[in-house]
Amino acid sequence: MTAFAQYEPAMTQKTILNDAHRALGAKMVDFGGWDMPLNYGSQIEEHHQVRRDAGMFDVSHMTVVDLHGAKGREFLRRLVANSVDKLKKPGKALYTCMLNEQGGVIDDLIIYYLADDWFRIVVNAATRDKDMAWIERQAAAFDIDVRERTDLAMIAVQGPNARDKALGLVAEDDRDRVGKLGKFSAADAKAADGAPLFIARTGYTGEDGFEIVLPADRAVALWDALLAAGVKPAGLGARDTLRLEAGLNLYGQDMDETVTPWEAALGWTVALDEGRDFIGRGALEAQKAAGDARRMVGLVMDEKGVLRHGQKVLTAGGEGEILSGTFSPTLGKAIAFARVPAGGDDTGVRVDIRGREVPVRVVRFPFVRDGKPQDGI
């Protein structure tokens, strides 16, 4: 895989489901300092399972942070590039980037509006330490209580049949309400066994489904219940191919603190609303005015082979580089994100693979939508 050994923390951590993964025969790897399942036998089968039916992922390594305080909304107006004012009803969620003063991406995250004085954010595992330090530093001026929820676990249930299978494990009184959740919305509920659940209709696969947050000491029981309901486990390998097919960025691979949202195809997450001075806004406005931001594009290679991180991309406008690259199980060919110079012609693009210039097609992503290849791919 492409990005599972890029960080080297001092000590590997384990989620509450670690023993459950090993009992299922998972191949374990280090990911951002966590001992996580790469696959349970066949990465490609796990990928197809999520695209065609329902699979589940242990995402308890993600960092859940609750922000409490009367100035929570004011704080988030300053902290992130998207506008938290889009969150008008409790339970609604927003995807956004947290930037440095130069407009570079410190991390991408999801914000949940729970109450006027309570917001929940979920940030990436590998960036936890720097994220927490940055958030706490910025929060001080707004008198925000920043609470990392180490007592919680998270399981993502994804696929066309994922919601139906997961709903069968929700308490009957809550089932109808949870079933009616819109995308990027969340609600509190109870499991059939009484465990408190925070259920969000979000995910990282391009498929419908839920991300379920619950007390860590109840996670094994939910995992086992999902297994019994026919939801099969999937590891980091399938998660990576699924998210790339879906056109979703991986932090550290497709963006970092030297890359702006304009350069990561995340301009849609930037809200230049009047009167809001978010961190990095000046740099983003200057780059937009200059029109010289590098572009992130999708590539498809029709020849046999695999596109990999770091390979040189040759375009009429100059050299670029492969970011995330993989073999797409759904398409049966290699796909990739690449960052290329501003402007330029998207015809005649090649990738240098061990000294051989192989032609590739520049395409719009996502590569796969609703389990099927996008038109023209």
Structure confidence at residue 344 as a pLDDT band (50, 70, 90): confident
Q: Are residues 42 and 178 in the same domain?
A: yes
Report the percent of the chain where pLDDT is more than 70: 97
- Whether 146 is covered by a domain: the verdict is no
Residue 188 shares a structural domain with residue 309: no
The domain boundary residue, chosen from 244, 279, 303? 244
CA distance 100 to 311: 28
pLDDT at 5 over 80: no
Rounded to an integer, the average pLDDT of 335-361 is: 95
Domain assignment present for residue 263? The answer is no
Burial class (CB in 10 A: 0-12, 13-18, 19+), 209: buried
Helix (H), strand (E) at residue 284? helix 281-290
Looking at the structure of the chain, the number of domains it has is: 2
| Domain CATH number, residue 331 | 2.40.30.110
Name beta bridge partners: 188: 198
Are 232 and 303 in the same domain?
Answer: no
Sheet holding 333-340, edge to edge: 356-359, 350-353, 312-315, 318-328, 333-340, 295-301, 361-363
DSSP codes, 135-159: HHHHHGGGT-EEEE-TTEEEEEEES
Tokens for 301, please give them. 């290679």
The verdict on 193 and 311 lying in the same domain is no
State whether 196 and 320 are in the same domain.
Answer: no
- The answer to whether residues 87 and 270 touch, using CB atoms and an 8 Å cutoff, is no
Q: Report the percent of the chain where pLDDT is more than 90.
A: 95
User: 80 in a domain, yes or no?
Assistant: no
- Strand runs (DSSP E) across 290-332, as ranges? 295-301, 312-315, 318-328
Residue among 82, 185, 78 nearest 139 (CA) = 78
Examine residue 114 and state whether it is found in any structural domain, yes or no.
no
User: For residue 357, what are the domain limits?
Assistant: 294-377
Domain boundary pick from 227, 244, 261: 244
335 and 224 within one domain: no
Out of 229, 244, 259, pick the residue that ends a domain: 244
Question: Is residue 56 domain-shared with residue 165, that is, in the same domain?
Answer: yes
pLDDT digits (tens, 9 = 90+) for 116-139: 999 999 999 999 999 999 999 999
Per-residue pLDDT reduced to its tens digit, 206-225: 999 999 999 999 999 999 99
CATH number at residue 215: 3.30.1360.120
Q: In sequence order, what are the residues at sequence separation of 6 or more whose Cβ sits closer than 8 angstroms to the Cβ of residue 245?
A: 206, 328, 330, 331, 335, 366, 367, 368
In a domain, 219, yes or no: yes
pLDDT tens digits for 273-307? 999 999 999 999 999 999 999 999 999 999 999 99
DSSP character at residue 230:
T
Pair (158, 55) in one structural domain? yes
For the residues 87-101, what does the mean pLDDT come to?
Answer: 98
- Asked if residue 211 is part of any domain, the answer here is yes
pLDDT of residue 10: 53
Query: Measuring CA to CA, how many Å separate 78 from each of 21, 135, 357?
Result: 40, 11, 45
Residue 300 lies in a domain: yes
Looking at the structure, tell me whether residues 232 and 338 fall in a common domain: no
